Amino acid sequence: MRNAYHGKYVVITGASLGLGKAIAERLAAEGCNLILLSLPQENLGACCDELAVNYGINTLYYETDLRDEDNIRKFAEWALAQDVEIAGLVNNAGIGGSSFFEKTDLLNIDSMILINIRALTLMTRLFVPELKKRDKSFILNVSSIAAFKPMPYKTVYPASKAYVYSFSVGLGEELKETPVHVAVLHPGPMDTSVENAARISKHGFLGKLVHLSVDEVAEIGVQQLLAGKKVIIPGIFNKICIRLLKTIPRDVAMPILTKVLRKEAYKIPQRQKA
């Protein structure tokens, strides 16, 4: 049985690699046409061609830097000017990493805020009017299990993902009487790159326990999105982890997180893609 978005277009940011690429493939398998967005020179055109051939869908792509507000507006204008039915938006683009806050480059901090928070918010605002024109549409925002607890040596990242969670739930309530379904996805550690794999390895047994591949997260995320879930937490151990993060007193949790994440801050480069 075809889903409601079969043959419709879905916009996906950060779509050239990692989770964004995996979500693009999963939605393509569901028969969705795609408008993919990434930074320049990330081989996005080839990715689009591959998806089109493998799944018999139509694809469009656009390359730009979402740290620039003008670029966000130009992309939205371009996408909305295409003669296609846009029925979905996946805000996946994000930046993460670990470091000592006082040693983190100001550009890295600013980039994380601009992409994880501002770009996601502005993209959503620019596409909501179009999504409301459909009989059924969705917004899927990618947060993290880090959204549920402050974390030393990450500081800005979990704060930015807590924003994504709060924004998504609030917007979903605001739009509940419209055709737009809003969902937020909270993945745990994923080996989206060589650097991320190295980072996860520093977490030891706990990191391995909650680790899922990007394909597994995409499969669960898209499946539960299509089923109408609002808050999506992939994996049983991630669900347990989030429950613990919510219930363990801060004075108990912080020393544990500090011990785990300090190793990462000492050994992993400051900026990485989420």
Helix axes 156-174, 106-113, angle to 10 degrees: 10
* Active-site annotation holds for 163: no
pTM of the complete model: 0.86
Confidence of residue 250 (pLDDT cuts 50, 70, 90): confident
Cα(128)–Cα(76) distance, integer angstroms:
11
Nearest to 76 by CA among 62, 58, 87, 90: 62
How do residues 50-90 score in pLDDT, each as one tens digit?
999 999 999 999 999 999 999 999 999 999 999 999 999 99
The phi-psi region of residue 97 (left if phi > 0; otherwise alpha if psi is between -120 and 50; otherwise beta) is: left
DSSP labels, 249-272: -HHHHHHHHHHHHHHHHHHS-S-E
**273 pLDDT more than 60:** no
The three-state secondary structure class of 9 is: strand
Cα(214)–Cα(142) distance, integer angstroms:
12
Q: Judging by DSSP bridges, how do beta strands 95-96 and 272-273 pair with one another?
A: antiparallel
Predicted local distance difference test score (pLDDT) of residue 196: 55
Predicted local distance difference test score (pLDDT) of residue 262: 67
Predicted local distance difference test score (pLDDT) of residue 184: 98
Per-residue pLDDT, averaged over 235-245, amounts to 81
How do residues 193-218 score in pLDDT, each as one tens digit?
555 555 555 555 455 556 799 999 99
Residue-averaged pLDDT of the chain: 88
**229 pLDDT more than 60:** yes
Q: Which domains does the chain have, with CATH numbers?
A: 9-273 (3.40.50.720)
How do residues 136-177 score in pLDDT, each as one tens digit?
999 999 999 989 888 777 889 999 999 999 999 999 999 999
Predicted local distance difference test score (pLDDT) of residue 198: 53
Which is the catalytic residue, given 9, 55, 157, 165?
A: 157
Predicted local distance difference test score (pLDDT) of residue 200: 53
- Looking at per-residue pLDDT, the higher value among 87 and 190 belongs to 87
How do residues 117-143 score in pLDDT, each as one tens digit?
999 999 999 999 999 999 999 999 999
- Alpha-helical segments (H) within 141-249: 156-174, 194-201, 204-210, 214-226, 236-247
* DSSP 8-state class, residue 119: I
- Looking at per-residue pLDDT, the higher value among 250 and 235 belongs to 235
Confidence of residue 269 (pLDDT cuts 50, 70, 90): very low
Predicted local distance difference test score (pLDDT) of residue 17: 94
- Looking at per-residue pLDDT, the higher value among 106 and 273 belongs to 106
Q: What tokens does 161 get?
A: 């993902």
